[in-house]
Amino acid sequence: MKDNSTKQTVLIVHQAHQAFVQMSNIKGIERSQAVLQMAKKLEECLDDVLQANTLDLEISKEMSVPDLILEWLKLTPQRVKTSIEILKTLSKLPDPFQKVINSPYQVTYCQNYSQLMPLGVIALVYEALPELAIITAGLAIKTGNSLILRGSSEASNTNTIITQVLQVALEDANFPSGCLQFLPSEEGYSIEDLVTQDQYLNLIIPYGRPSLIQKVTQLATAPVLKSAMGNCYLYWSLSNDLDLVRNIIVDSYGTIPDRVNAIEKVLINNQHKSNSIIRLFNHLKEQKFNIMGDESLVADFPEYLTPLKENQWNQPLLNNTIAFRTVENLDSAIAWINEYSSGHANCIITDSYQEGRIFAMEIDSALVYINSSPRFYRYLPGSNSVFLGISNQKGHRRGLISLETFTTLKQIVIGDGETTNN
């Protein structure tokens, strides 16, 4: 059984590669029309998608699936409609490959320029969150890539119907049949079999809890773009704007359902007065947050806080829990955040321009927010920006995972037919 599923995985990845090669002749306007066709088919099949999702929810509840996964799994009509709107937005964007980019350096005395190009075959390994298949498919097809989806068993029925609808739309648009593939986990298709197909697989994007990201990263032989969520820090400097602090914390939890940039840890300058801290605690409790703290703060505010374990300061909590600790100054806050945060989104509340500037320059983070909510928006209605998530890795594509993340760069050199002898 294992050998058969491995062979089938190899075949599917090879088919995706062949489809990618065929897609090289497809024009940008045709890719846009295909993405729009995907949106239209999903609108037609909205009820079917929601019915499949209801079945997945019922099965998952009977199997005592964690509440976090149930929250990620549950599709509402609005969540699907937002994904459809994202596809429509992508279909209207200019072809990313029509833009010529000035070369950042001269390789010869000839003319040089750079050109965005498709990556090839992309695999999305994701946990629940069925709409990610829709969004990733839109990004992949818009950029001329093939996509392989490997979802979790909790969303089996939902993932199946979504993939089938998208495949029909792409077939109607005359796209190669292998450009969108689906590996059902319940049929024995393992993550390891997929992520080790480096001969044809050009990028793997894992999306889910840290355990999934770690598993894919350790097993993969193809390049991995790590995504991150949670364990974002806020440093409350000697700003007296308590309203800003509490509004930013609460707003950071507004993304539904995966609170990617939620502020889970708050560092408080130890010169803040107790009454300001208590007012913040009271507000958060009113908003149904569970608040915790280090030993020192728990001792000072035992009626408000419960202790956070030492090994949790560098781990995402992924629920409505916020942990607090005090620090002496900006330097100690920066040192703590650089050691313990997930490194994808961190914030500071300060009245000092200089403090904000130092924080921005010294924090080792993909995104830095100064007196601003870090709330993650996958898509803002009316905008042209679509983001799958956030990568906290250094090097390739750190930060927001966008349309450009699904491309690579080719440098082109144009000569005049002559050579230069040194």
- Has residue 1 got a pLDDT over 60? no
Assigned domain for 50 exists = yes
Determine the Cα–Cα distance for residues 296 and 203; give it in Å rounded to an integer: 45
Q: What's the confidence (pLDDT) of residue 421?
A: 58
Give the pLDDT score at 108: 65
In a domain, 383, yes or no: no
Q: What is the pLDDT of residue 107?
A: 66
User: Which residue matches tokens 């279909």?
Assistant: 91
Q: Are residues 215 and 287 in the same domain?
A: no
User: Same structural domain for residues 74 and 155?
Assistant: yes
- The number of CA neighbours under 13 Å toward the Cβ of 359 is 28
pLDDT tens string 382-401? 788 999 999 998 877 899 99
Tokens at 253, concatenated: 């939890």
Dihedral of the alpha carbons of 67, 319, 364, 218, in degrees to the nearest 10? -20
Q: What is the pLDDT of residue 99?
A: 79
Distances (CA, A) of 388 to 149, 212, 281, 328, 350: 14, 17, 33, 37, 30
Q: How many residues does the chain have?
A: 422
Residues 313 and 403 occupy one common structural domain: no
Q: What is the pLDDT of residue 358?
A: 98
Task: Go through 382-393 and write b for each residue having 16 or more CB atoms within 10 A of its CB, e for each that does not.
Answer: eeeebbbbbbbb
Asked if 41 and 93 sit in the same domain, the reply is yes
Mean pLDDT over each residue of the chain, to the nearest integer: 93
Residue 110 has pLDDT above 60, yes or no: yes
- Cβ within 8 Å of residue 9, ≥6 positions away: 183, 189, 190, 193, 194, 197
Residue 66 lies in a domain: yes
Lowest mean pLDDT among 67-76, 110-119, 163-172, 372-381: 110-119
Say whether both 82 and 144 belong to one domain. Answer: yes
- Residue 252 counted as domain residue: yes
Residue 66 preceded by cis peptide, ω within 30? no
Enclosing domain of residue 283? 232-370
**Per-residue pLDDT for 381 more than 90?**
no
Arithmetic mean of pLDDT, 303-329:
96
CATH code of residue 20: 3.40.605.10
Across 307-311, average pLDDT: 95
3-state secondary structure the chain: CHHHHHHHHHHHHHHHHHHHHHHCCCCHHHHHHHHHHHHHHHHHCHHHHHHHHHHHHHHHHHCCCCHHHHHHHCCCHHHHHHHHHHHHHHHHCCCHHHCEEECCCCCCCCEEEEEEEECCEEEEEECCCCHHHHHHHHHHHHCCCEEEEECCHHHHHHHHHHHHHHHHHHHHCCCCHHHEEECCHHHCCCHHHHHCCCCCCCEEEEECCHHHHHHHHHHCCCCECCCCCCCEEEEECCCCCHHHHHHHHHHCCCCCCCCCCCEEEEEEECCCCHHHHHHHHHHHHHCCCEEEECHHHHHHCCCCCEECCHHHCCCCCCCCEEEEEEECCHHHHHHHHHHHCCCCEEEEECCCHHHHHHHHHHCCCCEEEECCCCCCCCECCCCCCECCEEECCCCCCCEEECHHHHEEEEEEEECCCCCCCC
Residue predicted with more confidence, 107 or 365: 365
Residue 6 pLDDT exceeds 80: yes
Q: What domain count does the chain have?
A: 2
Handedness of CA 145, 133, 162, 198 (dihedral sign): positive
- Tell me, yes or no, whether 333 lies in a domain: yes
Read off φ and ψ for residue 310, nearest 5 degrees. -60, -35
Same domain, 238 and 204: no
Q: Are 122 and 145 in contact (CB under 8 A)?
A: yes
pLDDT of 105 > 80? The answer is no
Asked whether 255 and 375 are in contact (CB, 8 A), the reply is yes
Q: Domain check: are 134 and 213 in the same one?
A: yes
CATH of the domain at 327: 3.40.309.10
User: Is residue 382 in some structural domain?
Assistant: no
Q: Read off the pLDDT of each residue in 208-231 and give the average, rounded to a whole number.
A: 94
Q: Which amino acid is at 183?
A: L
Residues in a beta bridge with 180:
147
380: in domain: no
| Helix pair 156-172, 131-142: axis angle to 10 deg | 30
To the nearest 10°, report the CA torsion of 404, 72, 191, 200: -20
Which residue reads 């144009």 in tokens? 414
Amino acid identity of residue 24, one-letter, is S
**pLDDT at residue 30 above 90?**
yes
Is 402's pLDDT higher than 70? yes
* pLDDT attached to residue 314: 95
Banded pLDDT at 135 (limits 50, 70, 90): very high
Residues 8 and 88 in one domain: yes
> Do 180 and 275 fall within a single domain?
no
CB atoms within 10 A of CB 304: 19
Q: How far apart are CA 117 and CA 377, in angstroms?
A: 26
Q: Is 56 in the same domain as 113?
A: yes
What average pLDDT does range 289-296 have in this prediction? 96
Q: What is the CA radius of gyration of the chain?
A: 24
Shared-domain flag, residues 159 and 129: yes
Same domain, residue pair 294 and 403: no
* pLDDT for the residue 412: 84
164-216 per-position pLDDT tens digit: 999 999 999 999 999 999 998 877 789 999 999 999 999 999 999 999 999 99
> pLDDT band at residue 114, thresholds of 50, 70 and 90?
confident
Q: What was the pLDDT predicted at 300?
A: 95
Does the pLDDT at position 420 exceed 90? no
| Domain-embedded: residue 205 | yes
